[in-house]
Amino acid sequence: MNIDRRGFLVAAAALGATSLSGGILAANAAGGASLIELPKLPWEQSALDPVISGNTVGFHYAKHHKGYVDALNKLIAGTPLEGRSLVEIVRESAGKADKAAIFNNAAQTWNHTFYWNSLSPKGGGKPGAELVSRIDDSFGSFDDFRRAFLTASTGQFGSGWVWLVLDKGSKKLSLIKTGNADTPISGDMHVPLAVLDVWEHAYYLDYQNRRLDYATAILDKLMNWRYVEDNLGKS
């Protein structure tokens, strides 16, 4: 691969981090098979400090997220899934016992990219009037939504995710919880708008076992409402 091609792919990966595609296909160094790439973080590693420390982001991104990407690429190498998009890999492996490892690593790759983009150093507070109106219509009020979000965050037993989604049937916003690697993109009922990672690795260095404090701080100070608006606009 020449330098220009490589540079293009790196730039494309950075742009892709804000899209539903989540992972980017890139030719490997040998110029042959395609790999799923780890998208760049949408901000500097320490940008979320002190709500989430640079130390937590460093471990979470460079160890956990990268670990899922690396494991996925090993698992799909030489299989019919090599060269497919990340979303296709998630959907084609979902619910298949013989592809559980591929699903877990593919879904975790996608979920983490979506999580990073759900956070912003300029986030938190209340969204704009139009989105507040959608939240009021769906949850009763912003305060009701806030309570429901925090209840869902602490109510997810063990590892998992709390998603703000658009319910395709009712057209209302909703909160859903998924365990372990499960993700709404494996089905067709919900459009994900934002997500909170409630695996302990997301908060233990900063908050130890205080998941409620972590969820509260994320919602109040980092929630990327612009990303929610963008995802609603695409739906």
CB of 59 to Fe ion, least distance (A): 10
Cα–Cα dist 2/192, whole Å: 36
CB of 16 to Fe ion, least distance (A): 19
Nearer to Fe ion, 173 or 181 (CB): 181
Residue type, 171: K
- Residues 177-216, one symbol each (x = binds Fe ion by CB under 5 A, - = not), give --------------------x-x--x--------------
Cα–Cα dist 67/75, whole Å: 12
Nearer to Fe ion, 70 or 82 (CB): 70
Total residue count of the chain as it appears in this document: 235
Residues 32-51 that bind Fe ion (CB under 5 A): none
Nearer to Fe ion, 86 or 202 (CB): 202
Cα–Cα dist 224/146, whole Å: 14
CB of 31 to Fe ion, least distance (A): 32
Cα–Cα dist 127/161, whole Å: 21
Helix axes 142-155, 129-139, angle to 10 degrees: 70
Cα–Cα dist 79/65, whole Å: 22
CB of 93 to Fe ion, least distance (A): 19
Task: Count the residues of the shown chain that bind Fe ion, applying the rule CB under 5 A.
Answer: 3
Cα–Cα dist 37/26, whole Å: 7
Cα–Cα dist 151/148, whole Å: 5
Nearer to Fe ion, 202 or 228 (CB): 202
Nearer to Fe ion, 110 or 149 (CB): 110
- Residues 143-182, one symbol each (x = binds Fe ion by CB under 5 A, - = not), give ----------------------------------------
Nearer to Fe ion, 5 or 63 (CB): 63
Cα–Cα dist 16/39, whole Å: 7
CB of 66 to Fe ion, least distance (A): 11
Query: Residue 4: helix, strand or coil by DSSP?
Result: helix
Could you list the residues that contact Fe ion (CB under 5 A)? 197, 199, 202
